[in-house]
Amino acid sequence: MGVGFGQVVIGADHEGAGVDTEEVERPVQGSTGAADYLLQLEKYAVRCRSQVIVAFAGPIVEVRAAQCGLTAAVGLDSGRKDERDAQTFAREMIQARCEVASARDETQIAMEVLPQMLVGELGALRGESEALVEAEFAAIEAVARRLVEVGRLMAADIAGVVG
């Protein structure tokens, strides 16, 4: 999916728990040529889309983990933050796509349509996240079981568990 991460942490009190993903920075117009800026903006939109899927996956995995008896992996209070993150990244994705379309003189999107686009994108991406979790749950469960044992896994540790 193109979302890099450094570590996955779980704590008994769930403070600071979660996936530590790489920063997502919006490209700055004028820092490069127009064509390069649009290319960077398109990549940014793709990255935001991936971040939405990651944000939705957290609570889905927590519920599935609880069903497998991995209750130490559950921090359901984090679901609200994940929901906000998903909405933020989906808005950013749509705005970037609109900016690219506008720069290329493609069809303009009316402001009143944006909320409907956001709801549609969120629904579609949540479905993709559910499908991804379902398809990869054996690997996710292996990582979750190891995470419960040790509390923190770095990217290399995770590769060792699922590799």
2 Rama class: left (phi>0) / alpha (psi -120 to 50) / beta: left
pLDDT, tens digit (0-9, with 9 covering 90-100), for 59-70: 888 788 778 877
| Arithmetic mean of pLDDT over the chain | 79
pLDDT band at 40 (very low <50, low <70, confident <90, very high): very high
101 and 128 Cβ atoms separated by less than 8 Å: no
- Which of 1, 139, 152, 154 is CA-nearest to residue 65? 139
Rounded distance between C-alpha atoms, residue 146 and residue 157, angstroms: 9
**Domain ranges in the chain?**
5-162
For 38, what's the count of Cα atoms within 13 Å in the CB-facing half-sphere? 10
User: pLDDT per residue over 76-100, tens digit each?
Assistant: 455 677 888 889 999 999 999 988 8
- Alpha helix ranges (H) inside 68-113: 79-103
Buried (b) or exposed (e) across 8-41, using 16+ Cβ within 10 A?
A: bbbeeebeebbeebeeeeebeeeeeeeeebbebb
